[in-house]
A = this chain, B = another copy of it.
């Protein structure tokens, strides 16, 4: 993921700024368009074959949501840019998959780019994809790299006319899209939290080297997640602070709500990071405790037998004049002596707390 980000920038080097090159994985051969137009009373959904067709439906009386999936078709993007008067640097940013979350205000539109996060159940890891939004006078355009997203519930809600969304303008649609993306952070973080709790149970029960690798992987994943979410605080704050004709005043409580959620996400990621750091401590002290236990018992056994072996060695010597060797009770006496020494040492070690 890091490599992807870096290489996306590296490719751009030596091109004039504003040149449209897609800097990301090529997921689709051809871009997919989907368009939803609605007002309080009407609603329609299209899969236009071309941008020209889509643009035909986007009349000023209705709110339009144009979703473009697949960013390889730079000609399409250029057409969009020309039609809606979008700055070349914005188009460049849309194509560049390694963007930092940010809001940019242009007289004609608001540009908003963030990461869409889904928990991948098989890999037990997070899948991160960049989504760009353009909020125009009465439309929102969203750009994604790969098919499949987290916004179906919103499409549904628009179709059924549920909630406030149909009664209000493009800025509420914009807010709803960002809101549903951010809500998915919570679902994903919940799963990450489950993974952390599972890891904790495993480490407390049976610390193993494999778990540190997993711990390391999760730490790194949260490192990237943090990098992707940290700027969102400022990003949404700037929506609240700056005035733009396309953002009505009624949106303020909704944007404040988004802001709260963002801070909660950042908080949670920080908490997760602290928990993982704590887990590493737990792992290390647990491993060292176990190692100490092993070493202690084993060393004690060795220590007990070494003096005994010396005694046995003494009476294995071949000196001619060793009077003990000829006493009938010498052998059992030596055995008893050994036993006494062993018992004495065990008791001493026990009293010292070494056993």
Pair B14/A89 contact, Cβ less than 8 Å: no
- Chain A interface category by residue count: 35 or more
On chain B, the residues within 8 Å of A165 by CB distance are: 16
Q: Which residue of B lies closest to A309 (CB)?
A: B310
Give the segment of A5-13, A30-38, A54-62, A134-142 that binds chain B.
Answer: A5-13
A239 CB → nearest B CB, Å:
15
Q: Tell me the interface secondary structure of chain A in the complex.
A: helix
> Of B187, B281, B309, B320, which is within 8 A of A313 by CB?
B309
Does A296 lie at the interface of the complex (its beta carbon under 8 Å from any beta carbon of B)? yes
A90-104 toward B: CB 8 Å interface, digit per residue (1/0)?
000000001010101
Residues of chain A from 17 to 60 with CB closer than 8 A to chain B in the complex:
17-19
A342 CB → nearest B CB, Å:
10
On chain B, the residues within 8 Å of A2 by CB distance are: 193, 197, 268, 271, 275
> Of B3, B98, B186, B260, which is within 8 A of A100 by CB?
B260
> Of B163, B193, B274, B312, which is within 8 A of A316 by CB?
B312
A199 CB → nearest B CB, Å:
13
Does A87 lie at the interface of the complex (its beta carbon under 8 Å from any beta carbon of B)? yes
Does A263 lie at the interface of the complex (its beta carbon under 8 Å from any beta carbon of B)? yes
Does A78 lie at the interface of the complex (its beta carbon under 8 Å from any beta carbon of B)? no
Does A315 lie at the interface of the complex (its beta carbon under 8 Å from any beta carbon of B)? yes
On chain B, the residues within 8 Å of A291 by CB distance are: 292, 295-296
Please list the residues of chain A having a beta carbon within 8 angstroms of any beta carbon in chain B: 2-3, 5-7, 9-10, 12-19, 87, 89, 98, 100, 102, 104, 153-154, 157, 162-165, 175-176, 179-180, 183-184, 186-187, 189-190, 193-194, 197, 204, 209, 212-213, 216, 219-220, 223-224, 227, 253-254, 256-257, 260-261, 263-264, 267-268, 271, 274-275, 278, 280-292, 294-296, 298-303, 305-310, 312-322, 324-331, 334-335, 338, 352-354
6 A-B pairs with CB atoms under 8 Å apart are: A6-B268, A212-B286, A287-B289, A294-B352, A306-B309, A308-B310
